[in-house]
């Protein structure tokens, strides 16, 4: 347990959490939407500081990040809790744990030095704060990230992008890369499926990019919910207007949690989404969750030659040399070493 960052005290021992765009007003003895930040007698505390339920050395491609230290390992950590309530969450057993188990908090205790040490022991070039929305364990993530940065290890967030702008500003001082979900392009979807709003997410995609953090975007394409050509084009155009160099991952949905009645995403829909992204001017569009279909590969945006061949999270061959296409010399956007 640790005193939380980003909150203000109100009358009657209430507090306003200012970590994310929910801006929860929390009475004494109560918690915010995330289920892991509690008002204790007029002061907000994090109940999950260092209480990790997941630690794993993952391929960086799993995040997914395709233009950031390819073929490297990233030490991934998570606590329980989340500030979204996505009906299709694949990690709902930890993201919704406090809500599923009557407010219970679980996890083994670790220090930032133990996390960074484990990353070094596993020969990881980065630490990823992931599996649930990492903003909800911000205090621990930030302390780990500061120490990692001092030791030459990079930091990655896999995020829903719902943090407040002040948090983005502070986080960008230690963060090297972020993958942000743009889950749909309608406020209705965000409200009904995620329990949140779209606008802050879009604003933060642009802000992280402006602050120099390497940004990639993921859209899980869900049949009947966000898979129309019009909506996919809106997402792609939004990303392109920030920068055509931002990679866009269009990934396939599988039935899970409270969306068991929705069918898996057809490969043809992912093909369509990828073609839409490329047609509006994005340089790099990738299909996810469907290995071997060809949409995982990186091609030179200038000469169209195959540069990185992938199968799932595995790189078969990487021909990029010093961030450039070896055939035509085109700069390939990303962080390569």
Q: What is the CATH number of the domain that holds 248?
A: 3.20.20.70
Tell me how far apart the alpha carbons of residues 142 and 149 are, in angstroms, rounded to a whole number. Answer: 10
DSSP assignment letter at 193: I
User: Is residue 128 pLDDT above 90, yes or no?
Assistant: yes
CA distance 82 to 86: 9
Per-residue pLDDT tens for 162-216?
999 999 999 999 999 999 999 999 999 999 999 999 999 999 999 999 999 999 9
Asked, for residue 248, whether it belongs to a domain, the answer is: yes
Say if residue 75 is in the same domain as residue 92: yes
Q: Is residue 336 part of a domain?
A: no
Q: What would the pLDDT profile of 19-31 be if each residue is shown by its tens digit?
A: 999 999 999 999 9
**For residue 180, what are the β-bridge partners?**
159, 217
Sign of the C-alpha dihedral, residues 208, 210, 214, 216? positive
Supply the pLDDT for residue 1: 86
Q: Are residues 33 and 66 in the same domain?
A: no
| Residue 326 within any structural domain of the chain | no
- Is the same domain home to 9 and 73? no
Q: Where are the alpha helices (DSSP H) in the chain?
A: 92-95, 97-100, 112-121, 138-150, 165-171, 187-189, 199-210, 229-242, 267-280
Per DSSP, the three-state class of 274 is helix
Residue 180 lies in a domain: yes
Q: What percent of the chain has pLDDT over 70?
A: 100
Domain-embedded: residue 303: no
Same-domain pairing of 34 and 90: no
For residue 333, is it within any domain? no
Domain identity same for 103 and 240: yes
Instruction: Look up the domain containing 37 and give its range.
Output: 2-46
Statement: residue 136 has pLDDT above 90: yes
Strand, helix or coil at 49? coil
Same domain assignment for residues 27 and 153: no
Average per-residue pLDDT for the chain:
97
Q: Would you state the structure tokens that stand for residue 51, as one six-digit string?
A: 């209480």
State the Cα–Cα distance between residues 337 and 327, nearest whole angstrom.
Answer: 20
Could you tell me if 65 and 183 lie in one domain?
Answer: yes
Distance CA 243, CA 119 (A): 32
Question: How much of the chain exceeds pLDDT 90, in percent?
Answer: 97
Domain match, 125 and 18 both: no
Residues 8 and 96 in one domain: no
Q: How many CA atoms lie within 13 A of 327 on its CB side?
A: 11
**327 located within any domain:** no
- Residue 125 contacts residue 74 (beta carbons within 8 Å): yes
SS3 of residue 11 by DSSP? helix
Q: Are 201 and 139 part of one and the same domain?
A: yes
Identify the pLDDT of residue 292: 81
Residue 236 lies in a domain: yes
Q: Are residues 75 and 103 in the same domain?
A: yes
Of 89, 68, 67, residue with least CA distance to 78: 89
DSSP 122-178: TT-SEEEE-SS-GGGGHHHHHHHHHHHHHTT-EEEEEE---B-HHHHHHHTTT--EE
Among 35, 10, 36, 40, smallest CA distance to 25 is for 10
Which pLDDT tens digit goes with each residue over 282-330? 999 999 998 888 799 999 999 999 999 999 999 999 999 999 999 999 9
Residues 15-64 pLDDT 10s: 999 999 999 999 999 999 999 999 999 999 999 999 999 999 999 999 99
pLDDT, tens digit (0-9, with 9 covering 90-100), for 254-291:
999 999 999 999 999 999 999 999 999 999 999 999 88
Q: For the residues 76-85, what does the mean pLDDT come to? A: 98
Number of domains in the chain: 2
Strand order in the sheet with 154-159: 54-59, 73-78, 126-129, 154-159, 177-181, 214-221, 248-252, 285-288
Query: Same domain for 281 and 255?
Result: yes
pLDDT of residue 320: 98
Model pLDDT, residue 162:
98
């Amino acid at each position: 347990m640790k005193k939380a960052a980003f909150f203000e005290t109100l009358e009657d021992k209430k507090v306003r959490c200012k970590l994310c765009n929910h801006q929860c007003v929390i009475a004494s003895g109560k918690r915010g939407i995330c289920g892991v930040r509690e008002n204790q007698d007029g002061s907000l505390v994090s109940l999950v500081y260092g209480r990790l339920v997941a630690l794993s050395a993952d391929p960086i491609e799993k995040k997914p990040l395709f233009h950031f230290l390819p073929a490297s390992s990233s030490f991934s950590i998570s606590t329980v809790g989340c500030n979204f309530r996505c009906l299709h969450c694949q990690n709902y057993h930890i993201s919704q744990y406090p809500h599923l188990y009557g407010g219970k908090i679980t996890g083994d205790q670790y220090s930032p030095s133990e996390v960074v040490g484990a990353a070094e022991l596993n020969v990881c070039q980065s630490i990823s704060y992931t599996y649930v929305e990492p903003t909800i364990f911000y205090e621990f993530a930030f302390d780990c990230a500061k120490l990692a940065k001092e030791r030459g290890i990079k930091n990655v967030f896999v995020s829903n992008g719902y943090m407040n702008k002040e948090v983005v500003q502070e986080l960008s001082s230690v963060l090297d890369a972020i993958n942000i979900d743009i889950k749909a392009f309608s406020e209705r979807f965000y409200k009904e499926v995620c329990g949140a709003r779209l606008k802050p997410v879009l604003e933060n995609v642009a802000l992280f990019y402006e602050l120099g953090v390497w940004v990639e975007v993921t859209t899980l394409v869900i049949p009947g919910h966000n898979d129309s050509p019009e909506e996919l084009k809106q997402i792609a155009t939004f990303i392109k207007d920030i920068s055509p160099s931002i990679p866009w991952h269009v990934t396939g949905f599988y039935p899970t949690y409270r969306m068991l009645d929705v069918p898996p995403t057809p490969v043809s829909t992912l093909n369509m989404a990828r073609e839409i992204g490329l047609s509006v001017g994005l340089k790099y569009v990738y299909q996810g969750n469907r290995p071997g279909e060809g949409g995982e590969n990186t091609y030179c945006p200038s000469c169209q030659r195959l540069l990185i061949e992938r199968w799932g999270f595995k790189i078969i061959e990487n021909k990029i040399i010093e961030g450039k296409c070896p055939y035509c010399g085109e700069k390939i956007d990303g962080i390569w070493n």
